[in-house]
Amino acid sequence: MINIEWHHEYEIGNERIDFEHRIFLGLISDASLALDLNLDRQRILQHLEEVKQYAIFHFISEENIMLDIDYPELQTHQQEHQVLLARLTDKIHQYRNEVLDLEAIVEFLFEWFALHTTQVDTRIGHYLKSSNKTAAFPFPPQTLRGH
């Protein structure tokens, strides 16, 4: 199992993105745990599909925030998301065909998450702070805050 923990440097300062990043990292951690649990290949493939589908959701959510704030690096960021999804899809395919093991996928996901979050996503946070712009749909919505 790879030691995967949340660190303060993963926070970019946007409540919604930080919340989603915590879930994403939790899913990666669960994949790492699957290494120790001896889960069958089909169960692991199902979990990897969950990771991929969550990544798709999170990327759309993050891109919507970038649209709301007129983020100047949106197109480049979207391309990076597309590359990640293509690489993840390929790695899942390789795992399905027993060309790649789960540990290699977990390492790829964690390294990508850590680097992307601390080097690319933090620029969104810096832009938000410097521009004083906010997303159209704040998170959590008022109804979830108990107001």
| Mean of pLDDT values over 29-43 | 91
Q: Tokens at residue 8, please?
A: 């303060």
Task: Tell me the average pLDDT across 49-71.
Answer: 96
Sign for the pseudo-dihedral over CA of 4, 6, 7, 13: positive
pTM: 0.89
CA 62 to chain centre: 10
The closest of 98, 117, 89 to 4, measured between CA atoms, is 117
On the question of pLDDT at 143 being above 60, the answer is no
Instruction: Specify burial of residue 90 (Cβ count, 10 A radius: 0-12, 13-18, 19+).
Output: exposed
On the question of a cis peptide bond just before residue 138, with omega within 30 degrees of 0, the verdict is no
**What's the pLDDT tens digit per position in 2-13?**
778 899 999 999
Residue 7: partners with Cβ closer than 8 Å, 6 or more residues away: none
Q: Please give the domain boundaries of the chain with CATH numbers for all domains.
A: 12-145 (1.20.120.50)
CA distance 124 to 133: 11
How far is it, in rounded angstroms, from Cα 106 to Cα 88?
Answer: 10
